[in-house]
Amino acid sequence: MRRYELDATVRRSDDGRLLSGGTPARLVRLTESGSAVLDAALAGDQLAGGAPRRLLQRLDDQGLVHPRGAPVAGGRPAVTAVVPVRGASPGLPELVDALLARGDVIVVDDGMTVDAVRSARAAGATVLPNAGPPGPSAARNTGIEAADTELVALVDADVVVQPGWHDRLLALLDDPSVALAAPVVASMPGRSAVARYEEVYSPLELGARPAVAGPGRRLGYVPSAALLARRSALLSVGGFDPATLIGEDIDLVWRLVARGWKVRYAPEARVLHRPRASLGALVRQRFTYGRSAVVLESRHPGAASPLRVGAPTAGIWIAAHVAGPLGALVALIASIAAAVAGRTDPASRRALARLVVLDHVRATRHLARVVTRDWLPLTLVPFALSRRWRRWGAAAFALDFVASRNHTGRLRDVPSQLALRVVDHLSYAAGLWRGMAGARSIGAAVVRVSAAQRRAPARAP
């Protein structure tokens, strides 16, 4: 029996039988026997029978609990590593050496230098030419199709791994419904201001909380910098789309989820990623991320929206703008009252009130990023002309600056991080709006409002 843990948002009350939290946020009441099953699963005890497994599966699907990947002891399956490489790659021999500890390594030549090819072969890798059009999608597909093991590790050439880096992910793929498991991709420490910024604000590092990724969830994607994958699952959806040159990892995740596969993010596993080498490289990357949102919106209409919000939350924002903090407070109280109406037991009323507040806070954090990044071409003018809008803009930027940090960082780096955060958002917004102008569509910047009281937004790059 694998060990489970509660999602960080979940609270138990009413003698452990009432669960509140998850993404989207929900309220679940367990029977007495169901509560005992959950206690045993959280303790890692052995459970027999199909009913406990079905209950845990249901709670897992609802984002209330997560399995913990544990190192696999003995009899570990072989894993073929696939590394797409373009140009020179100074760290490639060390990467190949670390990956060879668990199986064959296939390096796919997507325009490598002669020295890079020579060093990869000398390190023990098999080097294959990219069998498709230039780009990481076709290069990865070449390696996936050539692999002769069911499990493949997809690792970018600028990633640094330790031997056994994916051992904790193997247990998660024991579940036949899981297609991908992804580790934390942390930015490697560096001395430059850009490297220190990436260490705190890298879009590849998705936090310390496990999650199931997909559209409409807390994590909308996992990056392809490092993945442990089920080869048959990748082949069942045609692998990466060679026509998608940007955002190809998000596109793959969303296609897998649409086919019924599950994609997990497991922060108990960890790799390092070399940060952007210069300010220009950071700007180009963020510009590309902005353009990728437009590509994804065209392929998955509605899924790339920067924010999904319930009508009650939108009402609170409107009340705050029209009537200030007092108006927002009145709207919040009305939203809570509407949610708990008809509930007679105090535990359910308290849990529902907490969920409502939690969802409003989540959505407001995401709104802060939308206002200061995705909508910048629209909001810069009122920010410049109106003192009141400048106050709202400064508050939104401060909220995003604090809430988006992956790590605390050093206090003396805050001024440079503030400046780089502005550059980060401007670059993303430029890519987004340039892409939307080319596509003649603003779908990637449209906020989706629903009548639902509790709708948690997905985190996007």
Residues across the chain: 461
Identify the domain containing residue 387 by its residue range: 308-450
Q: Would you say residue 461 lies in a domain?
A: no
Alpha-carbon distances, residue 83 vs 108, 120, 128, 322 (angstroms):
6, 10, 10, 54
Nearest Cα residue to 307 out of 155, 207, 457: 457
60 and 83 share a domain? no
Reply yes or no on whether the pLDDT at 456 is more than 50.
no
Q: Are residues 57 and 165 in the same domain?
A: no
Same domain, 312 and 251: no
Same domain, 249 and 103: yes
Residue 294 is predicted with a pLDDT of: 95
Q: How confident is the model at residue 309 (pLDDT cuts 50, 70, 90)?
A: confident
The verdict on residue 286 lying in a domain is no
Residue 45 — pLDDT band, cuts 50, 70, 90? confident
Of the CA atoms within 13 Å of residue 371, those in its CB half-sphere come to: 22
| Partners of 85 in beta bridges | 109
pLDDT score for 2: 72
Q: Highest mean pLDDT range out of 32-36, 70-74, 289-293?
A: 289-293
C-alpha–C-alpha distance, residues 115 and 112, integer Å = 8
pLDDT band (50, 70, 90) for residue 260: very high
- Dist CA 406 CA 402 (whole Å): 9
DSSP, residue by residue, 387-434: HHHHHHHHHHHHHHHHHT-SS---GGGHHHHHHHHHHHHHHHHHHHHH
The residues, any chain, with a CB within 8 Å of residue 452's CB and separated by 6 or more, are 24, 310, 311
Q: What pLDDT does 22 receive?
A: 82
Residue-wise pLDDT for 130-141, tens only, equals 999 999 999 999
Report the half-sphere exposure of 117 (CA within 13 A, side-chain side): 11
pTM (2 d.p.): 0.90
Mean pLDDT to the nearest integer, 256-280:
93
Quick check: is 89 in a domain? yes
Region for residue 157 given its phi and psi (left: phi exceeds 0; alpha: psi -120 to 50; beta: otherwise): alpha
Q: How many domains does the chain have?
A: 3
Shared domain check, 417 and 353 = yes
Q: Answer yes or no: is 297 within a domain.
A: no
> Across 46-50, 234-238, 317-321, which has the greatest mean pLDDT?
234-238
| Lowest pLDDT segment from 142-146, 245-249, 424-428 | 245-249
Q: Kindly report, residue by residue over 323-346, the tens digit of the pLDDT.
A: 989 999 999 999 999 989 988 888
Same domain membership, residue 96 and residue 49: no
| 355, 250: one domain | no
Does the pLDDT at position 452 exceed 70?
no
For residue 384, the model assigns a pLDDT of 87
| Average pLDDT estimate for 50-74 | 82
Q: What gap in Å lies between CA 388 and CA 397, rounded to an integer?
A: 14
Compute the average pLDDT of residues 359-363: 90
Could you say which of 67, 87, 108 is where a domain stops? 67
State the pairing for strand pair 79-87/105-112: parallel
Count other C-beta atoms under 10 Å from residue 28's C-beta.
17
Please report, for the domain that includes residue 91, its CATH number.
Answer: 3.90.550.10
The answer on 110 and 52 residing in a single domain is: no
Is residue 161 domain-shared with residue 124, that is, in the same domain?
yes
Neighbours of 54 (CB within 10 A): 11
Q: Do 7 and 23 meet the contact criterion of CB atoms below 8 Å apart?
A: yes
Does the residue 298 lie in any domain?
no
pLDDT value of residue 345: 87
Of 311-320, 395-404, 443-452, the poorest mean pLDDT is in: 443-452
Same domain, 321 and 175: no
Instruction: Please identify, among 257, 276, 295, the residue that sits at the C-terminal boundary of a domain.
Output: 276
- The residue out of 43, 67, 91 marking a domain boundary is 67
What tens digit of pLDDT does each residue of 178-232 get? 999 999 999 999 889 999 999 999 999 999 999 999 988 889 999 999 999 999 9
Does residue 246 fall inside a structural domain? Answer: yes
Whether 459 is in a domain gets the answer no
Residue 297 sits at the vertex; the CA angle it makes with 397 and 451, to the nearest 5 degrees, is 70
59 and 110 together in one domain: no
Q: Please report whether residue 300 resides in a domain.
A: no
Mean pLDDT of the chain, nearest integer: 90
Cβ-Cβ contacts under 8 Å for 362 (sequence gap 6 or more): 456, 457
Interatomic CA distance for residues 137 and 143, integer angstroms:
10
Measured distance CA(103)–CA(88) in Å, rounded: 24
What CA–CA distance (Å, rounded) separates 94 from 161? 9
Whole-angstrom Cα distance, residue 95 to residue 92?
5
Grouping H, G, I as helix, E, B as strand and the rest as coil, residue 450 is strand
Question: 44 with 119, same domain?
Answer: no
